[in-house]
Homo-oligomer: A and B are copies of this chain.
Amino acid sequence: MTTHTDAGFDAVATTAEAAADFLRDFATMSEFGATPNGGVDRQAASEADVAQRRWLAQLLESRGLRVEYDRIGNQFGLLELNPGAPYVIVGSHMDSQPTAGRFDGAYGVLAGAHAAFRLAEEWAADGIIPPCNVAVVNWFNEEGSRFAPSMMGSSVYTGALPLEQAFATTDRAGVSVAEALAPTGFLGHGDGPRAASCAEIHIEQGRLLENAGTTIGLVSASWAASKYVVTVEGAQAHSGATVMEDRQDALYGAALLVVFARELADRFPGVLHTAVGQLDVYPNSPVVVASEVKLLLDLRCADETILAEANALLRERFIEIERQARVGIRQSLSHAWGINPYQPEGVELARASAAKLGHAHGDILTVAGHDSINMKEIVPTVMLFVPSVDGISHNEGEYTRDDDLLAGLEVLTDVVRRLAHGELPATDGTVRR
CB within 8 Å of B: which residues of A? Answer: 97-100, 143-145, 148, 150, 204-207, 223, 225, 235-244, 246, 249, 251-252, 254-259, 262, 265-266, 269-270, 273-291, 296, 298, 300, 366-369, 390-397
User: Is B143 in contact with A97, judged by CB distance below 8 angstroms?
Assistant: no
Given A99-B283, A252-B258: A396 in contact with B236 (beta carbons within 8 A): yes
Q: Taking CB as reference atom, which chain B residue is nearest A324?
A: B262
17 sample A-B contacts, Cβ–Cβ < 8 Å, listed by A number:
A97-B283, A97-B287, A99-B236, A144-B287, A148-B286, A204-B241, A206-B241, A238-B368, A240-B273, A240-B368, A241-B391, A242-B391, A243-B273, A252-B262, A254-B255, A280-B284, A287-B368
Q: Which one of B244, B274, B390 contacts A266 once the chains associate, using CB atoms below 8 Å?
A: B244
User: Is A273 in contact with B300, judged by CB distance below 8 angstroms?
Assistant: no
Chain B hits for A290, CB < 8 A: 277
Chain B hits for A396, CB < 8 A: 236
Min CB distance A297 to B, Å, is 10
Chain B hits for A274, CB < 8 A: 244
A385–B391 Cα gap in the complex (Å)? 59
Chain B hits for A240, CB < 8 A: 205, 223, 225, 273, 275, 298, 300, 367-369
User: Is A235 in contact with B278, judged by CB distance below 8 angstroms?
Assistant: no
Q: Which one of B145, B204, B256 contacts A285 once the chains associate, using CB atoms below 8 Å?
A: B145
Q: Taking CB as reference atom, which chain B residue is nearest A258?
A: B255
A299–B144 Cα gap in the complex (Å)? 38
A277–B258 Cα gap in the complex (Å)? 17
Chain B hits for A97, CB < 8 A: 236, 283, 285, 287-288
Instruction: Kindly report how many copies of this chain are found in the complex they form together.
Output: 2
Chain B hits for A281, CB < 8 A: 278-280
User: Is B236 in contact with A287, judged by CB distance below 8 angstroms?
Assistant: no
Q: Which one of B100, B242, B254, B394 contacts A206 once the chains associate, using CB atoms below 8 Å?
A: B242
Min CB distance A190 to B, Å, is 30
Chain B hits for A99, CB < 8 A: 236, 283, 291
User: Is B265 in contact with A255, judged by CB distance below 8 angstroms?
Assistant: no
User: Is A236 in contact with B395, judged by CB distance below 8 angstroms?
Assistant: yes
Chain B hits for A239, CB < 8 A: 273, 275, 277, 298, 394
Chain B hits for A285, CB < 8 A: 97-98, 143-145, 277-278, 394
Given A244-B265, A259-B255, A270-B243: A238 in contact with B394 (beta carbons within 8 A): yes
Q: Which of the listed residues A99, A205, A279 has the most CB atoms from chain B within 10 Å of its own CB?
A: A279
Chain B hits for A251, CB < 8 A: 258, 276-277, 279
A269–B98 Cα gap in the complex (Å)? 43
Chain B hits for A395, CB < 8 A: 235-237, 291
User: Is A283 in contact with B145, judged by CB distance below 8 angstroms?
Assistant: yes
Chain B hits for A391, CB < 8 A: 241-243, 246
A273–B258 Cα gap in the complex (Å)? 23
User: Is A269 in contact with B244, judged by CB distance below 8 angstroms?
Assistant: yes
Q: Which one of B244, B266, B277 contacts A287 once the chains associate, using CB atoms below 8 Å?
A: B277
Min CB distance A42 to B, Å, is 13
Chain B hits for A148, CB < 8 A: 286
Q: Taking CB as reference atom, which chain B residue is nearest A390?
A: B246
User: Is A241 in contact with B367, judged by CB distance below 8 angstroms?
Assistant: yes
A275–B366 Cα gap in the complex (Å)? 40
Chain B hits for A298, CB < 8 A: 239-240, 286-287
A172–B284 Cα gap in the complex (Å)? 11
Q: Across chains A and B, which 10 residue pairs bring their CB atoms closest together, nearest first? A: A239-B275, A255-B258, A205-B241, A145-B285, A255-B255, A98-B283, A236-B395, A238-B393, A241-B368, A238-B394
User: Is B243 in contact with A393, judged by CB distance below 8 angstroms?
Assistant: no
Chain B hits for A367, CB < 8 A: 238, 240-241
